[in-house]
Chains A and B, each alone.
Chain A
Amino acid sequence: MSEIHLEIDGRQVKAKEGMTVLDVASREGIRVPTLCYHEALEPYGGCRLCTVEVESGGRKNLVASCLYPVEEGLIVRTRTPKVDKLRKTILELLLAHAPDSPILEEYAKEYGAEKNRFDKQASFCILCGLCVRYCAEVKKANVLSFIGRGTSREINFIPELAAKECWNCKECFPLCPTSYVQAAYVLTEALYTQAPPFEVKGLKGVKAC
């Protein structure tokens, strides 16, 4: 594999082809905030918090560092006023959903994000998809999925699969930045296992739950 030379926050560094800007930043000890990123998972590019400025051939661009592949001569700036402003707004948008998330609070402090700037909608889930993707990519269980589109998007346990897979796993719980996934699981479990079995009239032998 060929070696790639790039500049990140003024440092001249080397990287291997196929690495992302975030990979290089992490290796160099440069902290780039992330929410939807996890080493064990394919980069997703959903939270956009890892947005950085890159310059290539004289052209500046704002990109998600978790996905942007390194290239020869690339100049990366992980903190510019513009980048910081974008991160601040992104955090404020997420704080409208999950104001008490420890990681959001920590980042909010760093970027000066306010909790009450935008209209609150207490859904707690910030749709980073860590649980959905971990379950699919690492556990290959696909118990969780996204449902809906746009602003009505949410995560959902598939009860039949959750009943079989989740009790002995629960590995997604600590990944969740807002503890929402645990609550969603408990709710699913309660609804699924506590519901009394009943028969559908006219359909012999068919039992729901």
Chain B
Amino acid sequence: MPRLNSKEDLVRLREAILARRDPNRPCVSVCAGTGCVASGALEVIKAFEEEIEKQGIKASVDTKGTGCPGFCERGPVVVIYPEEICYLQVKPEDVPEIVSETLVGKRVVERLVYKDPATNEKAVHEFEIPFYKHQTRMLLGVNIKIDPESIEDYIAIGGYSALSKALFQMSPEQVLEEVKRSNLRGRGGAGFPTGRKWETSKKAPGDIKYVIVNADEGDPGAFMDRALLEGNPHSVLEGLAIGGYAVGASEGFVYVRQEYPLALKHVLMAIEQAEAYGLLGDNILGSGFSFKVKVHQGAGAFVSGESSALMTAIEGKVGEPRPKYIRTAVKGIWGRPSVLNNVETWANVPLIINNGADWFIKYGTERSTGTKIFSLVGKINNTGLVEVPMGVTLREIIYKIGGGIRNGKRFKAVQTGGPSGGCLPEEMLDLKVDFDELTKAGSMMGSGGMIVMDEDTCMVDVAKYFVDFLTEESCGKCVPCREGLRQMHKLLTDITNGKASDNALELLEDLAEVLTDASLCALGKSAANPFLSTLKYFREEYEAHIKEKRCPALVCKDLIAYYIDPQKCQACMICMRKCPVKAIDGGKDLIHIIDQEKCTKCGTCFEVCPSKFSAVKKLSGEPVPERLPEEQRKVVRERKAK
């Protein structure tokens, strides 16, 4: 492919690609994102290739692995074009039927389409599935249409036209102005206005400036940046190049976390392709603007996602935060002005340039414009990536898109904003999700993690989990974070063990204060949020643990006991056989009894007891009833009605 030397070259290439492609030609798109690959997407793709060849239609059908469309719960996801028939949870053995029925016979394979668990209604097309129907997928929507390894796929959907527009029709100042007017706020956590950050760097003294993509997405349960970078790497690079042009940077970095091998592969491939096409590198599209992108791979530290730590890591040093009394936008990598934005932020930039700020601000709320991608996980029916305009309520996301709580359980809380975010209770479900509302409620937007919890979740245990994560991930440089988290973890562990002293909450509140007010970086400053928000909304749970040594959600091992209800036990011997420590005494027709001394509280008996009996119970805060006298242990069965 010869390089493109003008904006006309890009238009001509796009036309040529589209002319080569028949929009009515059948195409099998299989999600090849990490989630679907884990559930066998690569085998499905291979099966399609083989079956299409076998049935002799290879010349008239395309097959491609694409980016992640977000419905990970039902992966591997297959979409058949041009009809846009969507098949879910496809296995290699389903492939011959899909090929002969749908591709050859033009009939729908009913058993593979989406079926609403509540209404049993089927949805054949992607856009009819409730999970997708209520979303606004400006960023994720194109993932299923493009092969992330093909720059031509991206160019075919209008890729790099925003860069071309910026370079040839706009001055750097106009680009900056447009981004400022769009009110785009950073998607990485703090929601800082992107345009203002760019402007600070643009105005900062120095000839050499940098723009950086933060792809160090490390929040537990978050994978939106991964889906974007894996699925559509060129959109991020295009945004970055536009940012470079606006700010006056000729060099960019992509900081990819080590745990994202596919994202790394795709971004490296995309850079190579874009350089070969003249869309990155020297004299882009003959405009005179040169912009090079380097990739820096992280080494596994969560704190390296913090801006100053990330920049220190790019410099080749240990990724530890440094004080930011002078912003990194002014003094960043090697003391030079450096703009760091999150993957999703950069991916929004081409959309803003192509469609204009006025279009962008139509989405979302006044102070939080555009859409936001959330990774909806936890005890929810439809796990996956959800893109919605900001301002929709938590209830809409959890119930309309997420399909509600699993197994008909009751909603208890939703954790937003990653480990530094907070847990919001049921009464906050009508909260409008945007940067400011979430912060006001004691949580935060963060990068968009959303972990749904049901009634079986202990909120003290949740706080302990996140504090444990942060304790592991603190760099250890400053005292409030290193020591504060260590003590916080110790106290929360004591609470869940029933060993906490009466002043535990007072100590925890002092620790929360020192973390928030005296830590060096944002990791420490926000590290108390999981504790503070659970205390704010679930104080009674803390008190039950501390004062009554009781875990209301029946989760904390040291505070619960397993007990077999003699009224319900039918002596089926299942739990007895499955108990790994042989703590259950019983036999045929003999009511089973758990030896509390031997029991390790693994919960196996609770899980295996047939639901029609539900004889195994968890007790907390009450004594285990006395052992049944031997003479009463015979099971009395009711005669089956004939």
- B98, chain A: closest CB distance, angstroms: 49
Residues from chain B with a CB closer than 8 A to the CB of A47 are 478-479
* B370 CB-CB contact with A under 8 Å: no
In A59-73, the 8 Å CB interface with B consists of 62-64, 67-69
Q: How far is the CB of B516 from chain A (nearest CB, A)?
A: 9
Task: Given the known inter-chain contacts A89-B511, A150-B472, A151-B485, please indicate yes or no for A119 contacting B490, CB distance below 8 A.
Answer: yes
The distance in angstroms between the C-alpha atoms of A168 and B483, with both chains bound, is: 34
Instruction: State whether the Cβ of A82 lies closer than 8 Å to any Cβ in chain B.
Output: yes
Given contacts A46-B520, A127-B476, A149-B301, contact A64 B487 (CB under 8 A): no
**Given known A149-B476, A153-B476, contact A62–B482 (CB-CB < 8 A):** no
Q: Could you say which of B323, B482, B483, B484 contacts A64, with CB atoms under 8 Å apart? A: B323
In the complex, what residues of B have CB within 8 A of residue A117's CB? Answer: 507
B residues near A46, Cβ cutoff 8 Å: 477-479, 520
- Does any Cβ of A come within 8 Å of B517's Cβ? yes
Binary interface encoding of chain B residues 496-536 relative to chain A, with 1 for a CB under 8 A from any of its CBs, else 0: 00000000000100110110011110000000000000000
Question: Which residues 209-228 of B sit at the A interface, judged by CB distance below 8 A?
Answer: none
Selected A-B contacts with CB under 8 Å, 9 pairs: A64-B323, A67-B325, A69-B325, A89-B511, A93-B480, A127-B482, A150-B471, A151-B486, A153-B482
- Nearest chain B CB to A192 CB, angstrom units: 25
Q: In the complex, A127→B471 CA distance in Å?
A: 16
A residues near B322, Cβ cutoff 8 Å: 45
Q: Which of B301, B318, B471, B483 contacts A96 (CB 8 A)?
A: B483
Which B residues lie at the A interface, using CB under 8 A?
A: 301, 318, 322-323, 325-326, 471-480, 482-487, 490-491, 507, 510-511, 513-514, 517-520
Inter-chain contacts of A68 with B (CB < 8 A): 325
Query: Closest CB of chain B to A37's CB: distance in Å?
Result: 13
Q: Choose among A45, A85, A94, A148 the residue with the greatest number of B CB atoms under 10 Å from its CB.
A: A45
The residue from B474, B480, B510, B517 contacting A149, defined by CB atoms under 8 A apart: B474
Mark interface residues in A62-99 (1 if CB within 8 Å of B CB, else 0): 11100111000000000000100110011001101100
Complexed CA–CA distance, A51 and B524 (Å): 15
Q: Give min CB distance, A86 to chain B, whole Å.
A: 5
Q: Are A150 and B323 in contact (CB-based, < 8 A)?
A: no
A148: chain B residues at CB < 8 Å are 476
Min C-beta distance of A169 to chain B, whole Å: 24
Q: How far is the CB of A151 from chain B (nearest CB, A)?
A: 5
Report A-chain residues with C-beta under 8 Å of the C-beta of B471: 150-151
Interface residues on A, range: 20 to 34
Looking at A86, A89, A148, the one whose CB has the most chain B CB atoms below 10 A away is: A89
Most central of B471, B482, B484 by chain A CB within 10 Å: B482
Q: A62-B517, A82-B517, A118-B507 are in contact. Are A69 and B326 (CB under 8 A)?
A: yes
B513 with A90: CB separation less than 8 A: no
Q: How far is the CA of A32 from the CA of B480 in the complex (A)?
A: 18
Known contacts A89-B514, A96-B487, A153-B482, then 4 further A-B pairs from the complex at CB < 8 Å, ordered by chain A residue: A64-B323, A90-B514, A126-B479, A151-B471
* A89 x B513 contact (CB < 8 A): yes
User: Quick one: given A69-B326, A127-B476, are A86 and B483 in contact (CB under 8 Å)?
Assistant: no
A93 touches B483 (CB 8 A): yes
The answer to whether A62 touches B325 (Cβ under 8 A) is no
- Asked whether, in the complex, the Cβ of B487 is within 8 Å of the Cβ of A90, the reply is no
Q: Tell me which residues across on chain A come within 8 A of B473, comparing CB atoms.
A: 149-150
A residues near B478, Cβ cutoff 8 Å: 45-48
Q: Determine whether the beta carbon of A151 is less than 8 Å from that of B323.
A: no
Name the distance in Å between A112's Cβ and chain B's nearest Cβ: 13
Collect the chain A residues with CB atoms within 8 Å of residue B507's CB. Answer: 117-118
B518 partner, pick from A51, A69, A97, beta carbons under 8 A: A51
Query: In the complex, A68 Cα to B326 Cα: how many Å?
Result: 9
Docked complex Cα distance between A118 and B485 (Å): 12
A153–B320 Cα distance when bound, in Å, is 12
Q: How far is the CB of A106 from chain B (nearest CB, A)?
A: 17
Q: Which A residues touch B474, using CB under 8 A?
A: 149-151
Bound Cα distance from A156 to B472, whole angstroms: 20
A205, B210: Cα distance in complex, Å: 50
Q: Are B323 and A67 in contact (CB under 8 A)?
A: yes
Asked whether A93 lies within 8 Å of B323 as measured between CB atoms, the reply is no
B326 nearest in chain A by CB position: A69
A4 to B480, alpha carbons, bound, how many Å?
Answer: 31
Bound form: Cα–Cα A54–B335 in Å: 25
Are A45 and B520 in contact (CB-based, < 8 A)?
yes
B477 CB to closest chain A CB (Å) equals 5
Contacts of B480 in A (CB 8 A): 48, 90, 93
State A48–B517 Cα separation when bound (angstroms): 10
| Set B326, B477, B483, B510: member contacting A94, Cβ < 8 A | B483
Nearest CB on A from B146, distance (A): 38
Which residues from B are CB-within-8-Å of A93? 479-480, 483-484, 487, 514
- What residues of B have a CB within 8 angstroms of the CB of A82 in the complex? 517
Q: For the complex, what is the distance from the CA of A139 to the CA of B39, rounded to whole Å?
A: 56
